[in-house]
Structure 1
Amino acid sequence: MNRFSGFFLVLFVSAGFAQGSAVATVKGKVNADLYNLEGIYVINLKTEKASITDDLGYFSVNAAVGDTLVFSSIQYKSIKVALTKEHFNSNLFFVKMTPVMNQLNEVIIKRYDHINARALGIIPENQRSFTDAERKLRTATDLNASATAGSMAGGSISADPLLNFISGRTAMLKKILKVEKKEGYIAFLDNMFTEQHYVEHFKIPVAYIKGFQYFAVDNEKFTKILDQNNKTTIEFLLGELATKYIEILKNEHP
């Protein structure tokens, strides 16, 4: 082989390598069992260039035959794809990714009902618990002798309770407290007796059960029995009240 023949051979091989490693844009789509396909990194290990998938999993990246693409995401297992001519010849090539399954160990929830604010000494043992309406009413009517709202007969006291009384706020809070107690009693009755029991035992029509409950909790004698939580006595008094309530319904709807 002469000098010129060797030169042309080297030039031909170099051109072949250059043609085989030509950079082009390769397009593809990630498929997975999850719906979140956005933000998956597509990294060309050779050029260290990267792109990310859109919300449908589509991507495009500059690469050449023989380059390796890495697909990486927090929610999927990373995979590598070595690019071949087929990847460039197709309009779109698909990459299947597998979700990362983080299996949790068995969770055992233990109840510690005996550990509470009273048991820890945060709240005194015999201190009474107040509802939200009770706290607001107590605050509105409490004469705080340590306050300094001004000199008044009998010492220096907070003027807020007096202002609340004059403005009618105290009366409003008392009404709210009364309504709150009634709702509490009705919730108590809902837990104690089923709708079917009202119909079959007390003979109250379904449409009037709630009205009968309000009729019952308006009775002061009955609410005192409710506070004692004696189901036998409660059911007995409800029977008496049911008889009266049915008579009222008959008079209203003859």
Structure 2
Amino acid sequence: MINKVLCVLCVVLSQTAWTQNEERIIISGKIVSNTNDLEGVYVVNAQTEVMTTTNAEGAFSILAKAGDELVFSSIQFKEKRVLVTPENFSELNFIVKLNIVMHQLQEVIIRRYDNINAVALGIIPAGQKTYTEAERKLHTVTALNATASTSSLAGGSISADPLLNFLSGRTAMLKKEVAVEKKEFFMKLLEKMFSLDHFVNRLKIPNEYVKGFEYYAVENDKFTTILNSKNKTSTEFLLGELAVKYKEILAVENK
């Protein structure tokens, strides 16, 4: 008796499932969005759990019927649920618009790789002289142009531009910019190597005259050469000698 009931129940369930599948037909459509990356989006019939994915053009086909809910899901798009209507089956273009997921960065980590630079990558030859911005400008206005015509200047080996820049005073102005830029560089190097406490307590320079003493020091070519070598012992020794001379100048001026 129990076996007969189970058989009848199986037949009924099979007929019901067959009937439900019989009612569903293939529906074709296409997803669209503000990106060309439309491939691999999951399309799931929420009622039957049948799944498919879109192709490179965003097209898809899936078994469904009116009243079924299609779920569109992907990493790059927000999930979207669409209720299938009878009209969708007759539409030539069943279009589903998806919105892109905007991922907000929580943290940006910047790593410094000293061994990766323009020289290591072969972009700039090793040992090539580097120029500051002011030096590049000066080099540009004073550069010789071997392609200048013979009619421009005698011999034709020098462009008129450097001469015009010299006569207009532009060359002299840029030379001053280079000199100022170098002094600023040496000032920063000096302040990085020695603290304010060193100038005030070790060299006995009055606090209000420290900046003036720094300018006085970087005006000395011998000192800037040693400073640029980053030899702190030699730099400190010569700095001490300059401090003595600077204090003598202050003593005379303050009389």
Under TM normalisation by the shorter chain, which class is it? Answer: 0.5 to 0.7
Question: Percent identical across equivalent pairs?
Answer: 63
Could you tell me which residue of structure 1 aligns to residue 219 of structure 2? 218
CA 1:104 to 1:227, structure 2 compared with 1: closer, same or farther past 3 Å?
A: closer
Is 1:110 matched with 2:114?
no
- Which residue type is aligned with residue 122 of structure 1? I
Task: Tell me the CA shift for residue 109 of structure 1.
Answer: 4.1
Aligned counterparts of 2:151 and 2:158: Cα–Cα separation in 1? 7
Amino acid corresponding to residue 236 of structure 1 in structure 2? F
User: 2: distance between equivalents of 1:140 and 1:106?
Assistant: 45
Match of 1:231 in 2: 232
State the Cα RMSD in Å.
Answer: 2.0
**Counterpart in the other structure of 1:141:** 142
TM-score normalized by structure 1?
0.56
Partner of 2:210: 209
Task: Provide the rounded CA distance (Å) in 2 between the counterparts of 1:209 and 1:141.
Answer: 37
Q: Distance in 2 between matches of 1:118 and 1:148?
A: 36
Contact 2:119 2:125 in 1 (8 A): yes
Deviation at 1:168, TM superposition (A): 1.5
Contiguous gaps of at least 5 residues in structure 1: 1-101
Q: Is the contact between residue 149 and residue 157 of structure 1 (CA under 8 Å) also seen in structure 2?
A: no
Give the paired residue count.
153
The amino acid across from 2:122 in the alignment is G
TM-score (norm: length of structure 2)? 0.56
Query: For residues 110 and 206 of structure 1, do their structure 2 counterparts lie closer, same or farther at Cα, with a shift above 3 Å needed?
Result: same
Q: Is it true that 1:128 corresponds to 2:154 in the alignment?
A: no
- 2: CA distance, partners of 1:213 / 1:141: 31
1:240 matched residue in structure 2: 241
Change (3 A) 1:200 1:103: same
Per-residue Cα deviation, 1:152-172 (whole angstroms, up to 9, x for no partner): 222243211001111111111
Counterpart in 1 of 2:89?
none
What are structure 2's unaligned runs of at least 5 residues? 1-102
Task: Map 1:119-198; keep pairs closer than 5 Å.
Answer: 119-148=120-149, 150-198=151-199
Segments of 4+ in structure 1 off by > 3 A?
Answer: 102-110, 147-151
Shift in Å, 1:103:
8.2
* 1:157–1:200 distance in 2 versus 1, CA, 3 Å: same
